[in-house]
Structure 1
Amino acid sequence: MQNFLFDFDSTLADTRDVAVIATQRAFEVQGLTPPERDVVVSYMGVPIEVSFAKMAAVPLSSTALEDLYTVFRAQYQEAEKLGITLFNGMATTLAALNERGAQLFVVSSKHSVPLQRNLDQVGLGTTFKAISGSDTVDHYKPAPDGILALVDRFHLDPSESVMIGDAKYDMQMGKNAGVSTVAAMWGAADPASVRAEDPTYILAKPADLLTL
């Protein structure tokens, strides 16, 4: 493989606690019943523009949802200070891939601004050739828009490209884009649902990416 497209949350870095805290606080600030931790985790990998309406205990107007998104982003920036950490072996694996001439990208359900901020925070600010956030696509995961835009922009060969993610949505997006898929089991919250998507590769640790 020559082109590696990574999800961020629970694939490159462990952000699960940050996401849960920020989501629950945002709902509380807006006077809403906060979703349980397992519910928040189950929607990780899905943009908040999709997941928040589903997690709300009552129907929310478009205005109420927009306000909730704004509060969440502020809460997330605060929760980030609690710590976002790379998975063991991720930094050395990425360095080795870069050393051998692979092209590295990030395709995330985060907006591009916090995505870049998080990459900077974990020391990967200049590691990737390009990033694709949810604000750069017309259709969210599992639609293939983020991958296809990078394939087109950098003239990537889909047969030499692989999407690496921890959730079923990443596997579905990769399939929809016509690229290979890697189930990042080191960060998967629901391994069974990821395996059920029949990924091309199922890997236990980041260093295993060097075998592709």
Structure 2
Amino acid sequence: MHNFLFDFDSTLADTRDVAVMATQKAYEAKGLAIPSREAVVSYMGVPIEVSFAKMATESLSEAALTDLYTEFRAQYHEAEKLGISLFAGMGATLATLKNQGARLFVVSSKHSVPLQRNLDQIGLGQTFEAISGSDTVAHYKPAPDGILSLLQRFDLDAKQSVMIGDAKYDMQMGNNAGIATAAAMWGAADPASVKAEQPTYLLQTPSELLTIFK
């Protein structure tokens, strides 16, 4: 593999506690039933535009959902200051891949602005050739839009490209785009569901990414 496309949350960085805290506070602020930690974690990997309506026990109008998204992003902006951390070994692995000529990208369910802010926060702001946020695609994960856009924009060979992620949605997106997949088991909240997608590579640590570079 030569082109590495990374998910962000729970793949590059550990953001699970931040996401849970921001989600629960957003629902609470809007007077809604607060989703359990398990529910929030189970939907990590898909955009809030998909997951929030499903986690709500009430039927919410589009306006109410829009308000909830806005509240979540404000809460996340505060919560992220308390703790987004790069997974052990990830920084060194990315540096080695880049130095050896690998092309690095991010495909995330986050909007592009907070995604870039989070990358800056963990010292990866200049690491990636390009990022693809949920605001840049017509269809969210597991649709392949984010991957296909990068393949086209940067003339990347699909046969030399791999999607790295911690959730089944990442594996499905890679499959739908016709590229290889690598399961980031170090961040997987539901390992069984990830393995069920039969990823091309099953990786236990970030450093194992070096073994699939060609």
TM over 0.5: same fold? yes
Q: How does 1:35-46 map to 2 (within 5 A)?
A: 35-46=35-46
- Please give the alpha-carbon distance, in whole angstroms, between the structure 2 residues aligned to 1:34 and 1:145: 31
Instruction: Give the distance between the partners of 1:36 and 1:192, measured in 2 at CA.
Output: 20
- Residue equivalent to 1:67: 67
Q: How many residues align?
A: 212
User: Matched residue of 2:209: which SS?
Assistant: helix
What are the Cα deviations for residues 89-122 of structure 1, in whole angstroms up to 9, with x where unaligned?
0000000000100000000000000000000000
Match runs of 1:150-165 below 5 Å: 150-165=150-165
* Residue 165 of structure 1: how far off its partner (Å): 0.1
- Find the aligned partners of 2:96 and 2:159 in 1 and give their Cα distance: 21
For residue 160 of structure 2, what is the amino acid of its counterpart?
E
Distance across 1 between alignment mates of 2:74 and 2:127: 26
Aligned residue type for 2:56:
A
Aligned counterparts of 2:8 and 2:60: Cα–Cα separation in 1? 28
Q: 2:34 & 2:20 partners in 1: Cα distance?
A: 10
Q: In 2, distance between residues paired with 1:204 and 1:143?
A: 26
Q: 2: CA distance between counterparts of 1:80 and 1:48?
A: 16
Query: Matches of 2:59 and 2:9 in 1, distance apart?
Result: 27
Instruction: Within 5 Å, give how 1:1-212 maps onto structure 2.
Output: 1-212=1-212
Residues 5-55 of structure 1 deviation map (CA, whole Å, 9 limit, x = unaligned): 000000000000000000000000000011000000000001000000000
- Runs of 4+ aligned structure 1 residues displaced above 4 Å come to none
After superposition, give the CA deviation of every residue in 1:173-204 in whole Å (9 maximum; x if it has no partner): 00000000000000000000000000000000
In 1, Cα distance between equivalents of 2:183 and 2:17? 21
Measure the CA separation in 1 of the matches of 2:170 and 2:59: 28
Distance 1:161 1:80 in 2: 30
CA RMSD of aligned residues (A): 0.3
TM score, norm. by length of structure 1: 1.00
Structure 1 CA distance, aligned partners of 2:140 and 2:64? 21
Unaligned runs of 5+ in 2: none
| Residue identity in the other structure for 2:196 | A
Q: TM-score, normalised by structure 2?
A: 0.99
- Counterpart CA distance in 1 for 2:41 and 2:83 is 17
Q: State the alpha-carbon separation in 2 of the partners of residues 146 and 206 from structure 1.
A: 22
Whole-Å Cα distance in 2 between the matches of residues 83 and 117 of structure 1?
13
The Cα shift of 1:83 comes to 1.0
Distance in 1 of aligned mates of 2:35 and 2:209? 34
For 1:81 and 1:196, the matched residues in 2 are separated by: 35
Partners of 2:68 and 2:154 lie apart in 1 by 35
Unaligned residue ranges in structure 1 (runs of 5+): none
